[in-house]
Structure 1
Amino acid sequence: MPAEETSGIHCRLDELLAGRGMTLTELSRRVGVNLVNLSVLKNDRANAIRFSTLTAICEALECQVGDLLVTSGGTAGIS
């Protein structure tokens, strides 16, 4: 996929971390996920995420998947 194309999914990790006063480093430690991998997710560069990782992040941030991942610009859809 060319760099200018996106999946239409936006990760709100920055906003959720800020709202909880938590750093990406702290989240990495809590969920046991490499800081680099969380950074890729945070910067909307991830192509996939394991359900176990998604569950761990949501538990640590006390949020739902829909709070973390949202569609951006209405370009994502299910066919």
Structure 2
Amino acid sequence: MNWISDTASPPATLLKRLVFQATIYLIWRERNSRLHAGPSLLPSLLFRQIDRCIKDAILARLNRKGFRNLLSLWFANE
């Protein structure tokens, strides 16, 4: 929780929030999948889904002010 609440810079904070939200959502979805359907994903596939979810969220909002340089920041931290 300290990592998410650290306010280094506005783009970094926004990227942290996106990562946090995507991770929580996809882990919750994986949990439900295991409870109801049975099969589980490999951790590497879960990480790939998180990566894709973050890229999609950034690309969908490229016209917004805070999201313009976020994709390059995401690629720099990969």
The normalised TM-score by structure 2 is: 0.29
Q: Which has the higher helix share?
A: 2
Higher relative contact order (CA 8 A, sep 6+): 1
Greater Rg by CA: 2
Q: Which has the higher strand share?
A: 1
